[in-house]
Amino acid sequence: MAFKTTFTKPRQDAFSLIELQIALGLGLVVLAAVLSFFLFSTRSFAAMTNYLDLQQKTQIALDQMSREIRQVARLTACSSNSLTFQDYDGGTLQYAWNSQSKTLTRTKGTTTKTFLTGCDSLQFSMFQRTPSNDTFLPYSTTTVSTAKLIELQWNCSRTILGTKANTETMQSAKVVIRRK
């Protein structure tokens, strides 16, 4: 009787421990890279959306203020953070910046409307219309009766997840009081 001996290689149905550890390590590295890219993209998208919204709101506020200031009868009071006018209809129009709440408000008669929020700095200046010393720059004035030109300057910002991240906008304009 002949015995036939065959040696077969044992089957490997599973991974060895080392192979499993290497696969898990590579998988975690890929997952971490994908997750960090997703977080970076989400934050960038939120910053861009926030910046565009802020830019649009500051532009709308500047346009409306410029339009209204051009129509007023005269300036009655001015400080670095407040302007008061006698409006075209004889009523009072006031723009005021509150540094504590960081808001710019417009008051017409008894109605107050918030124009801007997140306004970090704001300054109003008044000038005569006459250019100074062969330049196009107007003379600064300290009396409201000689003021013909108003300069508006502000800087607004917003935060994303508690930090400022490229979400600042600055506006500046010189507006001539046309009816004066």
Is the pLDDT at 12 greater than 70? The verdict is no
Instruction: Express each pLDDT in 103-126 by its tens digit.
Output: 999 999 889 999 888 888 899 988
Paired tokens of 33: 């890279």
- H or E element that contains 152: strand 149-160
CA-nearest of 160, 119, 159, 126 to 145 is 126
The dihedral through the CA atoms of 139, 142, 146, 152 has a sign that is positive
What's the mean pLDDT when you consider all of the chain? 85
CB atoms within 10 A of CB 3: 4
Res 180: pLDDT: 60
Is the pLDDT at 46 greater than 70? The verdict is yes
- pTM for the full model? 0.72
CA dihedral 107, 108, 113, 117 (to 10 degrees): -40
Is the pLDDT at 153 greater than 80? The verdict is yes
- Calculate what percentage of the chain has a pLDDT beyond 70: 87
Q: Give the span between the Cα atoms of 153 and 6, in whole angstroms.
A: 93
Res 2: pLDDT: 62
Q: Most confidently modeled of 10-24, 45-59, 70-84, 138-152?
A: 70-84
User: What's the helix, strand, coil split of the chain in %, to 5?
Assistant: 30, 40, 25
